[in-house]
Structure 1
Amino acid sequence: MTIHEDITAVDELDLLGDENAVDVELVVLDLAGTTVRDDGLVERAFVLAAERAGIAPEGEARDTALRYVRDTMGQSKIEVFRALTGDEEAAQRANAEFEAAYAELVAEVGVEAIPGAVETIRELRGAGVAVVLTTGFAPATRDAIIDALGWHDLADATLTPAEAGRGRPHPDLPLTAVLRTGASSVDAIVVVGDTASDIGSGVNAGAGLVVGVLTGAHDRDALEAAGADEIIDSVADLLELLGLDRHDG
């Protein structure tokens, strides 16, 4: 799967070459690790949550749990805690502690956008392409990030698993983004993320293009194995990939 190589204007922006060209109508972007720097905040919040909730608080048990958190980065956090605890009450307690810990860390150390993320989103929307931000976090955690960055009006919508149904790698987040924005088909969407779960979600949704970025949790090999059609260094390179880099020449 490749991007059309002779794009000169947004009306000509298409996927899959000339014969069955499809206009790009929607770009679905992950938050932490893709458009927002993570800098280890997810892992730090997990460690605090594990201690406070009494699940794998130390030693080998915590190391094993932390590896699972890394491997499942991008997935719904409540589902991660359900897998780790095997108990709904314990999972809910740990998830609540995670949300509180992440919000505390955001307030303490702040969050930053990936360089070029804001400009990319604005350029896409200026070209008539809808943008939806998605995350595996709970709504409260999502809101803490959006509030800290002042991103309330940056994208067309922001979605969590609580608002879409199931988390990644299920297709619910991209498909809900299609419904929210009125995109005409899944072929017309581009899904971008830094984890295997992000890529899996795009693939399972049948997105026209699924793009991995190397600014987050998983490396090139993991993103390729998950089914990414293209891999770029950063979301800042997305405009060029889609033929919308208007700063050249």
Structure 2
Amino acid sequence: MTQEESTESEKPAKSNLIVLDMAGTTVADGGLVERAFERAAEHLGVEPGSADHAAKLQYVRDTMGESKISVFRHLFGTEELARRANSAFEEAYGGLVDGGLVAPLPGARETIEELRADGRTVVLTTGFARVTQDAILDALGWRDLADLTLCPADAGGRGRPFPDMVLAAFLRTGAVADVRHTVVAGDTAYDMLSGSRAGAGIVAGVLTGAHDRAALTANGATHVLASIAGLPALLAQESGA
């Protein structure tokens, strides 16, 4: 092996698969998850202002990033009630989205465009059902922004904190040969757990959503950024560019 070949082989492999969360990471929803949950809970007879309502709402806050149907299974106990709650939630959230109450976080679109222009594959993931994810993408004009979009149903039904959506992105895109060359970014502890359990080499937390630096770091973040707009610079630094 020549010295030039040796130097080339020592360069870090480029992280070409980027898996990004939506709400709180690339999309600002302005508390719509909580508002939609409150409508869903009321639909199932949970009295607003009651101790039960407060406890359930706190659980929703604590589990931001998790598949919503999983949250409702925990809160309401039976599959029938969970599905009723989830349907009411999706309908309420969709109505809020249609009302123009979602927006891209500053620099999010530009970041995705920059990553793709640099030859990286970008996948957008969510804990919402496909119908809600599509409503958000349509509201933002993001249908063709990423290479692929995934919801829990696209990965066998298990959402975060399971690694399934990250691994589905790895398998379906073929963007990298080694899962360690995958980058996962999100705003919740469950995003961090999902990325670390999948074996991603970079698991970046962002401070624009549900959880703080301590929660992100405690659950597997390798880096914490002020916002997703800082991701291209981080990747350039990691690759030695």
TM-score by length of 1: 0.88
**CA offsets, 1:141-160, max 9 Å, x none?**
10110010010100001100
Where in structure 2 are the equivalents of 1:162-241 lying within 5 Å?
162-165=153-156, 166-182=158-174, 183-241=176-234
Q: Distance in 2 between matches of 1:54 and 1:210?
A: 39
Cα distance, 1:107 vs structure 2: 1.5
Where in structure 2 are the equivalents of 1:1-249 lying within 5 Å?
21-55=12-46, 57-165=48-156, 166-182=158-174, 183-243=176-236
| Gaps in structure 1 of 5+ consecutive residues | 1-11, 13-17, 245-249
What secondary structure sits across from 2:203 in the alignment? strand
Greater Cα offset, 168-177 or 108-117: 108-117
**CA offsets, 1:188-246, max 9 Å, x none?**
100000000000000000001100000000011110111100000000111111118xx
Specify the code of the residue in structure 2 equivalent to 1:45.
A
Specify the code of the residue in structure 2 equivalent to 1:137.
F
Does the CA contact (< 8 Å) of 2:167 and 2:198 recur in 1?
yes
Aligned residues: 228
Does the CA contact (< 8 Å) of 2:29 and 2:101 recur in 1?
no
Specify the code of the residue in structure 2 equivalent to 1:172.
D
Q: Post-superposition, which runs of at least 4 consecutive aligned residues in structure 1 deviate over 6 A?
A: none
Does the CA contact (< 8 Å) of 1:22 and 1:187 recur in 2?
no
Q: Distance in 1 between matches of 2:141 and 2:193?
A: 29
Does the CA contact (< 8 Å) of 1:65 and 1:84 recur in 2?
yes
Does the CA contact (< 8 Å) of 2:73 and 2:82 recur in 1?
yes
Cα distance, 1:184 vs structure 2: 1.3
**CA offsets, 1:1-53, max 9 Å, x none?**
xxxxxxxxxxx9xxxxx957222110000000000002100000000110112
Alignment root-mean-square deviation, CA: 1.5
| Gaps in structure 2 of 5+ consecutive residues | 1-7
Cα distance, 1:179 vs structure 2: 1.1
- Percentage of matched positions with identical amino acids: 60
Q: Distance in 2 between matches of 1:119 and 1:132?
A: 15
What secondary structure sits across from 2:99 in the alignment? helix
Specify the code of the residue in structure 1 equivalent to 2:131.
A
Q: Distance in 1 between matches of 2:206 and 2:226?
A: 5
Q: Distance in 2 between matches of 1:84 and 1:57?
A: 15
Does the CA contact (< 8 Å) of 1:56 and 1:65 recur in 2?
no
Q: Distance in 1 between matches of 2:187 and 2:117?
A: 24
Greater Cα offset, 96-105 or 177-186: 177-186
What secondary structure sits across from 1:79 in the alignment? helix
What secondary structure sits across from 1:162 in the alignment? helix
Q: Distance in 2 between matches of 1:123 and 1:216?
A: 22
**CA offsets, 1:51-72, max 9 Å, x none?**
1122465411011001100110
Q: Distance in 1 between matches of 2:46 and 2:72?
A: 9
Cα distance, 1:163 vs structure 2: 0.6
Q: Distance in 1 between matches of 2:143 and 2:95?
A: 20
Q: Distance in 2 between matches of 1:39 and 1:188?
A: 32
